[in-house]
Amino acid sequence: AGTMGSGIAMACVNAGFDVTLMDVGADALDRGLTTIKRNYASSVKRGRLTESEVDERIGRIRTSVGYDECAEADLVIEAVFESLDLKIEVFEAIDRVARSGAILATNTSTLDIDRIASAATRPGAVVGLHFFSPAHVMRLVEIVRGQSTAPDTLATALAVAKRLGKVGVVVGNGPGFVGNRLVFPYMDEAE
């Protein structure tokens, strides 16, 4: 329910999806919902949404402490801090409870998708969905294909990006994928 998780949740409810926002504690969930409400209040103030539209969207966000709600999801998007060890730990927990046929996505911006997929018993169901911040605004989503990512997983990821109103670009599993691979040298030169 941090910066990326809250933004991804907003992008999903904006597209009509029902969302369960999960975190390890109630305080983190409260902070995430506060961020979402603040972002929507800004949209109302600018005249982009009405109060009733915001209420409807927030009404489609459930919250959950822990991973149990993953059992009902068709798509689980992990959005924890960029630590390979943490992402592997989270993927192991998600894999234990997620239903058969669910897609397990990581929002990593630089980490090895294949290493993350190795934490799951179903690596074909693992894909990268790298949203750019703020996730509810930025249009690009890198769809990272791992070595084992199944064709139907990739096709579903593309369909989800399209429904979100994003530009989904399929990229290979390499350091920094495309976006960060371009930005890192640019930042080095600027520095």
Catalytic residue positions, numbered? 130
Render the chain in DSSP notation, one character per residue.
--HHHHHHHHHHHHTT--EEEEESSHHHHHHHHHHHHHHHHHHHHTTSS-HHHHHHHHTTEEEEESSGGGGG-SEEEE---S-HHHHHHHHHHHHHHSPTT-EEEE--SSS-HHHHHTTSS-GGGEEEEEEPSSTTT--EEEEEEPTT--HHHHHHHHHHHHHTT-EEEEEES-TTTTHHHHHHHHHHHH-
